[in-house]
A and B are shown apart, each in its own frame.
Chain A
């Protein structure tokens, strides 16, 4: 039972490049979300999904796309990387939205040069 997995762990991109951060869970949770964590700021919600086929924007969605074709996977796509997207990205899952414990993946450290 792996819980929540994220790949890659580290990534360096050049400005303008695109990439996909992978997130997978084997907990059969409906709710999945992507956060970014920057120094001096709390985790901020990028996008979330309440179930397969349903996604919505969070607080800071610009520059990111998501899709949810299965319960298990919730990839985050950076369309054209910018230095402002340098951050640590966490995927999280929970039984429900908000009231329940959030289970986080180990994170992806992204640097955009």
Chain B
């Protein structure tokens, strides 16, 4: 079983739509959770951290469900510029080598 699993998509949604991605992780002792955004042929960049109480940043909402070991990312009012691959990243605290990346979910927002 992979440490972090994501639906690879692709998700093709019209502008203005709401879209949600889920990610599951294997280690119940995981402590820190993140969503990164990666544009085509570019490096990943931090989109937002995910806190236990959930958090929101503009049109983006991240949730954590520790009991079911998954995190989610909700994007409201999708923009063309949201087209990218979204990486789920989990810090499993198994020493310094402790960051695990999902394969990414590809989102395309269509005009």
Query: Chain A residues in contact with chain B, CB under 8 A?
Result: 31, 35, 40-45, 48, 50, 56-59, 90, 97-99, 101-102, 104-107
Contact = CB atoms under 8 A, between A and B. Distances in A.
Contact of B99 (A41, A45, A105): A45
B103 A42 contact: yes
Interface string B20-33: 00000000000110
Interface in B39-96: 42-46, 49, 87, 89, 91, 93, 96
Given A102-B89, A104-B45, 4 more contacts: A43-B101, A44-B101, A99-B32, A99-B91
Contacts of B103: 40-42
Given A41-B103, A42-B103, A48 B44 contact: no
B98 A97 contact: yes
A101 B46 contact: yes
B46 A98 contact: no
28 contacts: A42-B4, A42-B87, A42-B100, A42-B102, A42-B104, A43-B101, A45-B97, A45-B99, A48-B96, A48-B97, A50-B96, A56-B96, A56-B97, A57-B97, A58-B97, A59-B97, A90-B43, A90-B44, A98-B91, A98-B93, A98-B96, A98-B99, A99-B31, A99-B32, A101-B49, A102-B36, A102-B44, A104-B43
Contacts of B91: 98-99
